[in-house]
Amino acid sequence: MFLDETFLLKNKVAQKLYNDYATKMPIIDYHCHLDPEEIYSNQKFENITEAWLAGDHYKWRLMRANGISEELITGSGSDYDKFCAWAETIQKCIGNPLYVWTHLELKRIFGIEDLLNKKNADKIWNEANKIIKNDNMSTRELIKRFDVKVVCTTDNPTSDLEFHKKLAHEESSFKVYPTFRPDNFINIGCVNFVDNIKELEKISEKSINNYEQLVESLHQRIIYFNDNGCRLSDHGFGHFVFCRMSKNEINSIFSKVMNSEVISNEEIQAYQSHLLTDLMKLYNRYGWTAQLHMQASRNNNSKIFNSYGPDAGVDAMTDGCIESSLVGLFDSLVVSNELPKVIVYSLNPKDYEPIVALMGCFQGGEPSKIQFGSAWWFNDTYSGMRHQMTALAEGGVFADFIGMLTDSRSFLSYPRHEYFRRILCELISEWVLQGQVPEDYELLGEVVESICYKNATKYFEV
């Protein structure tokens, strides 16, 4: 039964919803970390490790938990040895979504039916590496194979968007849009903040001597991103506290940091609150969607961080309260009619029901203007997806949900959409069999198609 045609589809209702509706929908990957240069160059991979393990901190965490040496994770070990170390690890990981994803990707992308383990790692290494040389395994071809219509990358405001521009002129099968990620300018407490400001001065060709000039320069970059197809911004926060100070005080905070003076936590929070508010007003002006990724605790293992840098698999979830700060942020914007479309993601599942309840306070003007983001990162699991969708259905308008995204750095991760779609159809079928929902395929088929694809096209206007 493992990964057969009916896996996760435990009844005829689920199977009909999946086969007749979900499978026919294209993909909009509205949040990912793919490299636009790799897409433009139509890169081919040297081997499966390069395509599958490089940069995949999901896998790295499991390998460390299995006692694999860092040399075979982020170190100087050979690609073959790293692959074998992953095979040795994944055979133990039943119940983890990576066990399903690993074998689903082997099956859907490489046509390999064997279960990956220590004994057959060499066989699968050789078999996969023969296939990976094929023309249909290049970056653009992989996107086309999975019927991806839109890819939204994640980009620094100082990016020149060179490869987005080239793709816009040369690629007609799918669109690649940038996403505006200004964390470098919001995180005023980070050690590289002054250097980031200097980089922004260079690209905007304007001096930034105060807070107002910073906002003006970021506005200039928003216009540039908008002219190149941008539909979304993205913001990452661990512990976000919304508080306000006067503009003079914010200017003073900015000046202190630019002069290498120490600022307090309260000053950091006030600066972040002001800049995020001002940026949200600009997003509303240009019709963008603001994504808020919250409750991530970053770079907890200093030894690994100092050796490798960020995104090394040593992040975790925080357990702070975000509801009151979101209320302050949203209310300050709705009063002036400048609240943009927003997707709220939390890395901590304790926030799911509070987020859905809070969203209902600020809806209006269009269907589900405030969205509850798809189960993210540590919640990107069978139970996590069901929890997120159940919370949304019980407290909001489920049929308006904009669905799944990859949040991935890998071009091999698109089978995760199949995983999500199967869980979606299974969940709806359970409601049918429990008598909570009618067995009306005109109704339910439209809901499935909308969540898989149609809602995102409308919401992001792509």
Condensed to tens digits (0 to 9), the pLDDT of residues 36-82 reads 999 999 999 999 999 999 989 999 999 999 999 999 999 999 999 99
Local confidence band at 1 (pLDDT 50, 70, 90 cut-offs)? confident
Phi, psi of 189 (to 5 degrees): -85, -5
Decide if pLDDT at 239 tops 90: no
β pairing state of 296-297 and 316-317: antiparallel
Burial of 207 (0-12, 13-18, 19+ CB in 10 A): exposed
* Closest C-alpha to 278, from 238, 210, 218, 328: 218
Task: Report the CATH fold assignment for 12-42+147-460.
Answer: TIM Barrel (3.20.20)
pLDDT tens digit string along 360-383? Answer: 999 999 999 999 999 999 999 999
- Alpha-carbon distance of 373 to 405, in angstroms, equals 9
pLDDT tens digit string along 414-436? Answer: 999 999 999 999 999 999 999 99
The pTM of the whole model exceeds 0.85: yes
Domain ranges of the chain: 12-42+147-460, 44-137
Q: What is the pLDDT of residue 400?
A: 98
Decide if pLDDT at 236 tops 90: yes
pLDDT tens digit string along 332-369? Answer: 999 999 999 999 999 999 999 999 999 999 999 999 99
Mean pLDDT, residues 94-104 taken together: 98
- Alpha-carbon distance of 329 to 127, in angstroms, equals 53
- Region of 271 (left: φ > 0; alpha: ψ -120 to 50; beta: rest) is alpha
CATH 1.10.2020.10 fits 44-137, yes or no: yes
Half-sphere exposure for 46 (CA within 13 Å, toward CB): 7
pLDDT tens digit string along 394-412? Answer: 999 999 999 999 999 999 9
Decide if pLDDT at 277 tops 90: yes
